[in-house]
Structures are given as structure tokens and as C-alpha cells.
Amino acid sequence: MFTADQYELLDFGAGRKLERFGRLVLDRPCPAAGNVARQHEPLWAEADAVFERLDADSGRWYTNSAFPESWTVSHGRVTFELRPTPFGHVGIFPEQAANWQWLADRLAQVGGPLKVLNLFAYTGGSTLAAAAAGAEVVHVDAAANVVAWARRNAEISGLADRPIRWIVEDALKFVAREVRRGNRYDTIILDPPSFGRGPKGQVWKATEHLYDLLAQCAALTAGHGALLLATCHTPEITRTSLAYQMIEAFVADPVDFSSGELQLRTAQGQTLASGIVCQGWKKGEISN
């Protein structure tokens, strides 16, 4: 998890969340907090920046005069460059921190050089956690600017010399090509969006394409796989349905799975649901 000086969920409610990233406090929309009452109303006046959504795809930041163009926070060995984007993101999803630790612990437990594929890899949290643990990583994202952002994170984390391939590609297209080439991976990580477009306009819909991608991932790990990590933020996909799809996709090469909720927690113990997670490991190769 993050240390309190690097990230903290301060409060949430009325459809928004208040977070501190390093020294900066951000107030952003959060549908999961829509039916919750705020616990610490005076804190909200301390926000350095407020994001207001204009439509489904964009919005506007309102910042104080001293708000920087970028800043950094750290998690373990990994340092992230943060900056406000037109979508309300800042370059990190703190709810993934528990997964980064799970990856590091399990990769160490398996031992030996492992080949990891990270799909929809964003700014590289899982990529750099795996690389820091000694893995060889293939990092795939459809957005060239996001892949460049991830590479900067590798540089400022002192991990630029690790064996990481940076790929700008549509995830489904890349995985299908890897299957045809006979390439195999020991670990696959994926955090698919609900909707997205590849670099050549390919359309991704999690509700329509996720199972096909999981089936291709099963082919990529056949006889090799040790770890699987899938997270999802699509409301129509529940933790039960995600686990079922993974079990079905890997039926020919059985995997043990554990599913649950991604959560953020305030210092007072209130929890905010932030997506779902399904962790898998090949039977007999690793314990949870």
C-alpha cells in the first residue's frame, strides 16, 4: 500500500472523492460514492484542484494559482509522474497498489526469470512492479502518449535498464499475433477499459470482447503460465462473471482463482469500492 505521505483517500460522498497525492489535494467525480454521505465536509475546502465533467469523455480542471504542471509520488521502488488530464485522471490508479504488491510477492515466490505480458498497461504501475521484481515485461497500450508516460516513469524510477518492451498496439490484435507466432508468457496482467479504441481505430468493448481476449491469453500461457491478474471497472461485469469467464477461458489448462473488490480506504476505515479483481495461479505451482 501507499505510505500516507504519498497517497491518501481523505473523504468521499455525494458522487465525488477527495484524495491527496503527495502534497496536492484533488476533488474528482466518483460514481461509486453517489449514495454516500461525506464524513469530513471541512476538508473539501482544502482542494488544490477540482475536476468537473463536461460530458462522458472530457471535463475541466479548476486549479489554484500554485498548481504545478506535474509532480511525483512513489510506491515502493516505483515513482510516478502525475499530471492532470482532460479525462480527470492524473496518471495513477491507487486502488491497484495491492495488486502491485501481490505481483511482486508472487513473482518472488515462483522464482527464476519470468516473462510477463501487461495489456492495457497505462502508465506502467504493474509493468514496473514486475520489472522491479526481476521479470522481463512486454508493456502494451493503444495510446502512444501513455506508453511514453510509462517510459518516463521507468526512467525516474531507475528502472529504464530493465528488460521492458514498450508496444503501442491494440491489445486483441497484439495477443492474436503472439498466439500465431507461438510466443508464450509466464504471467499475464490486464486492466481493460469499458470502451476504447486502438491506434488504428479498432473498437474495444469489455462486455463484448473480454472473453475472446481471455481465451487468447489462455493460449499464450499454455504450459507456461504461473500468474494471472485481471481487474475491471465495467459496471456490467461483476466479480462473479469475471471469475466465471476466466475459469471458462482456462478450462483446458486449469487455474485456481480468487476474486474480490478493489478498494480505497480512508484513515478512519471507510472503504470505497473501486472495481473488481481476479487473481489466478496455475494449479500446484503457487499458493495464494
pLDDT of residue 86: 93
For 44-101, write each residue's pLDDT tens digit: 999 999 999 998 778 999 998 889 999 999 999 999 999 999 999 999 999 999 999 9
Judging by DSSP bridges, how do beta strands 24-29 and 49-53 pair with one another?
parallel
Domains and CATH numbers, the chain: 7-82 (2.60.40.1180), 94-282 (3.40.50.150)
For 102-116, write each residue's pLDDT tens digit: 999 988 887 777 999
For 149-203, write each residue's pLDDT tens digit: 999 999 999 999 999 999 999 999 999 999 999 999 999 999 998 887 777 777 7
Q: What is the mean pLDDT of residues 279-283?
A: 79
Nine-digit cell at 77? 521502488
Q: What is the mean pLDDT of residues 14-42?
A: 96
Return mean pLDDT, the chain. 92
Query: What span, in angstroms and rounded, lies between the C-alpha atoms of 30 and 16?
Result: 4
pLDDT greater than 90 at residue 285: no
pLDDT of residue 283: 56
Query: What span, in angstroms and rounded, lies between the C-alpha atoms of 133 and 108?
Result: 7
Query: What span, in angstroms and rounded, lies between the C-alpha atoms of 127 and 107?
Result: 12
Q: What is the mean pLDDT of residues 205-229?
A: 89
**Confidence (pTM):** 0.93
Nine-digit cell at 250? 482456462
Query: End-to-end distance of the chain based on CA atoms, in angstroms?
Result: 18
For 247-280, write each residue's pLDDT tens digit: 899 887 777 889 999 999 999 999 999 999 999 8
Contact 183, 138 (CB under 8 A): no
